[in-house]
């Protein structure tokens, strides 16, 4: 399959209302990631679980993020098998990380994995993400790290990845990139937004060559309870996401097809 013969599908009224709304949310997320410059050609993935099922939505392999629509997202099972009568395939290696997390984190309905320069750079620094900005305060209390073991395709690394993530919602993958999870597409997106901004600020401060003032440890120790409610649920994904959906529609409403 290539871009010149991309099938034009319309699944509206052919799936449940819940699934269609998830498809809208996920397609918007892909478009916004492309708009923000966080995409990596046809690589990296954002997945979401369809409630009350053992099925998931993910991008079709070979479709750029700014081409993703609600209808060309692919429904798969936990093993990455494509379901329904679908003309698309997925990148099974790319879905490995997502399936590993969905397997052990039922609360993590959406898993977002990106390869931005900034998250990759900070992930590869020996001290990782530092307490240098308010954005880092949203991420550090729930931060996990996973050392690079090559392409994440074998069962042994899946177990290590699951153990490294534990109950955290943010992960920096050394030499690789970043990952966030959330109970909704909006929550996972906002967590990635915070993490991306934190990494950008850290690299800018380091490049300045000036002495920096880290957030005091006493404030760090008190931040977790605050961070749990900021950019999550009613104060984060639920509030911010509708505005982001409107932004995606202004950019190109074609994602809703």
How does pLDDT run across 52-102, given as a tens digit for each residue?
Answer: 999 999 999 999 999 999 999 999 999 999 998 888 999 988 899 999 999
Task: Give the model's pLDDT for residue 230.
Answer: 58
Q: Collect all residues with Cβ–Cβ distance below 8 Å to 138 and sequence separation of at least 6.
A: 191, 194, 195, 198, 227, 230, 231
Cα–Cα distance between 190 and 95 in angstroms, integer?
21
Delimit the domains of the chain by residue range: 3-247
Which of 142, 143, 131, 217 minimizes the C-alpha distance to 174?
143
Q: Are 58 and 47 in contact (CB under 8 A)?
A: yes
Average pLDDT over residues 113-138: 97
How does pLDDT run across 9-66, given as a tens digit for each residue?
Answer: 888 989 999 999 999 999 999 999 999 999 999 999 999 999 999 999 999 999 999 9
Say whether domain 3-247 belongs to CATH 3.40.225.10. Answer: yes
Average pLDDT over residues 136-157: 84
Phi and psi at residue 85, to the nearest 5°: -85, 85
Percent of the chain with pLDDT over 90: 76
How does pLDDT run across 189-230, given as a tens digit for each residue?
Answer: 999 999 999 999 999 999 999 999 999 988 888 876 666 555
Q: Are 143 and 62 in contact (CB under 8 A)?
A: no
Task: Give the model's pLDDT for residue 225.
Answer: 64
Model confidence, pTM: 0.92
């Amino acid at each position: 399959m290539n871009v010149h013969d991309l099938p034009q599908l319309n699944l509206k009224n052919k799936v449940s209302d819940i699934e269609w709304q998830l498809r809208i949310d996920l397609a918007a997320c892909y478009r916004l990631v492309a708009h923000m410059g966080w995409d990596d050609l046809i690589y990296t993935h954002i997945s979401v679980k369809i409630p009350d099922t053992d099925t998931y939505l993910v991008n079709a392999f070979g479709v750029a993020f700014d081409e993703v629509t609600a209808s060309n997202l692919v429904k798969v099972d936990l093993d990455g098998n494509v379901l329904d009568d679908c003309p698309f395939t997925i990148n099974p290696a790319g879905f490995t990380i997502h399936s590993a997390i969905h397997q052990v984190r039922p609360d993590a309905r959406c898993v977002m994995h990106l390869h931005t320069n900034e998250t990759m750079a900070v992930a590869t620094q020996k001290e990782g993400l530092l307490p240098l900005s308010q954005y880092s305060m949203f991420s550090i209390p729930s931060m996990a790290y996973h050392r690079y073991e090559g392409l994440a395709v074998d069962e042994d690394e899946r177990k290590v990845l699951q153990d490294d993530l534990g109950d955290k919602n943010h992960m920096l993958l050394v030499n690789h990139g970043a990952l966030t999870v959330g109970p909704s597409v909006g929550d996972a997106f906002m967590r990635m937004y915070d993490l991306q901004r934190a990494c950008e600020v850290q690299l800018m401060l380091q490049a300045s060559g000036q002495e920096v003032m880290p957030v005091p440890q006493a404030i760090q120790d008190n931040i977790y309870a605050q961070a749990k409610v900021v950019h999550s649920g009613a104060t984060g994904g639920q509030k911010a996401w509708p505005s982001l959906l409107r932004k995606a529609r202004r950019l190109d409403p074609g994602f809703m097809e």
